[in-house]
Amino acid sequence: MWHQLLKEIQQGNSKALARTISLVENEFENYFDLLQLLPVSSAKIIGITGPPGAGKSTLTDALIGEMIAQHKKVGVLCVDPSSPFNLGALLGDRIRMSEWYNHPNVFIRSLATRGSLGGLHPKILEIADLMKAANFDFIIIETVGVGQSEVEIAGLADATVVVVVPEAGDEVQTMKAGLMEIADIFVVNKADRPDADSFVKNLRTILTPAHKTGIPVIKTIASRKEGVHELFEKITDQLKITATTDRKYFLMAERAYQLIEQYRMKDISKEELRKEIESKQNLNLYQFIQQYFN
């Protein structure tokens, strides 16, 4: 089964890819066997992150257009907030990117965070590796935009684009260090708004002392496709940097740790723990948890 699915994915079968993502997402029996079959891929991942309302989806839509114009094959994972009732994606980026919905060289999948605090899907690492097997030229991952915990995206992405708007103003002065550190490129979107130029100047001033080489700051008006070509050129330049940094090793080790933790804890239910604790009298918590150490 898994060998056949993987073969279909590698041949560009989008239905097989969509089905397999669902199987991994829902932890179908023995799905880990498939993950171990995945070949090492050179496909590049572009992370798009930033605060809500910055225009990440519109910018992603414009980037897809730029890539398609250059005859590239693009896979997109849009991570949306979860419904509190069924943990499904609330926003549905496939609707917002309807222009590309049926395009043969574009695959778009909305994922819910399912309560994950990092702004990503709990199975995002596995799903991204599945996407890599589908022979896309570029894979774009757009996060929810929930704050500093978004540093997770830097552990996945070969190039991380942080999108902000001119209204961020003084907030940049107190911008959380995590967001500053993960950015390979800053985008000031909606740059037709008042004070955009002074905001960009401010941002460049803040970035320069911390980063001697300087992080590019690109102005865009994604709704009009303005500045998107320049942004794509900067992303392409970033992707050419083959040296793996210490940060990348550290963040990937963090992801490995989370995966190991996730798989080791999969048979332990908080609800079952609660029932077992409730049934005991005068419980010594440390004696109780000792049974799980072996």
Burial zone of 96 (CB within 10 Å; 0-12 exposed, 13-18 middle, 19+ buried) = middle
Can you name the CATH fold of 40-242? Answer: Rossmann fold (3.40.50)
* Contact yes or no for 219/250 (Cβ under 8 A): no
pLDDT of 20: 96
- Residues paired with 141 in a beta bridge: 47, 77
pLDDT of 258: 76
pLDDT of 82: 46
pLDDT of 83: 44
Q: Which residues contact 88 (CB under 8 A, 6 or more apart)?
A: 82, 112
Residue 229 C-beta-side C-alpha neighbours within 13 Å: 4
Residues of the chain with pLDDT under 50: 82-94, 114-119, 148-149, 212, 243
pTM: 0.81
pLDDT of 97: 64
What residue has token string 């829902």?
26
pLDDT of 41: 83
DSSP sequence for 36-82: HHPPP---EEEEEE-STTS-HHHHHHHHHHHHHHTT--EEEEEEEPB
Exposed e or buried b per residue across 231-253, where buried means at least 16 C-beta atoms within 10 angstroms of its C-beta? bbebbeebbeeeeeeeeeeebee
* Contact yes or no for 194/270 (Cβ under 8 A): no
pLDDT of 95: 54
